Amino acid sequence: MENGEKHSEIIQKLMVATNKIDGVYYYFAKRLGLKENEFFFLYALSDGKPHTQKEICDLWLIPKTTLNTVVRGCLRQGYIRFCEGGHSREKKMVLTPSGKRYAGGALGLVRGAESRAMEKTLEKFSPAFVDAADCFADLLHEEFSRMKPPEKGEN
């Protein structure tokens, strides 16, 4: 089997696995009554560290306008606040106590499921599989960023 064919099969398998993971989070967010991007925004902030909108957009690949809408909604509901100080034009955000309670209930269930699934996975594979997937994602993003998409109708 040629390298291109072998790579194609491996990439196909990885894409299916990635899509399954995305789908699991999507359906669980829906069951919680959250929009997918709101779920991921709360997940991003649940690490307890202040983040800017730009940091979250860049890391989670959420469009700026979409994230801005989510941020406005979370501000209105009292789930987040902007941090004081800082010299940057980009303000850092954190969850409020109300936001921590709101996110904590849903994310507690998620984190439990993630932990159980990871424990079972680590019985079979080294933790290096995560580093490998992260490396592939970064390199793929880099490659796609360099490409100029074909015009409609071009092959």
User: For residue range 106-139, what is the model confidence (pLDDT) as tens digits?
Assistant: 788 899 999 999 999 999 999 999 999 999 999 9
pLDDT digits (tens, 9 = 90+) for 16-55: 999 999 999 999 999 988 899 999 999 999 999 999 999 9
Q: Give the pair of three-digit tokens for residue 102.
A: 């709101």
pTM for this predicted structure: 0.80
Contact 52, 37 (CB under 8 A): no
The CA distance from 130 to 122, in Å, is 10
For residue 151, what pLDDT is reported? 79
Residue (of 81, 46, 75) closest to 60 by Cα position: 46
In the chain, % of residues over pLDDT 90:
73
Contact 71, 121 (CB under 8 A): no
Domain 32-124 maps to which CATH number in 1.10.10.10, 3.40.50.300, 3.90.550.10, 3.20.20.150?
1.10.10.10
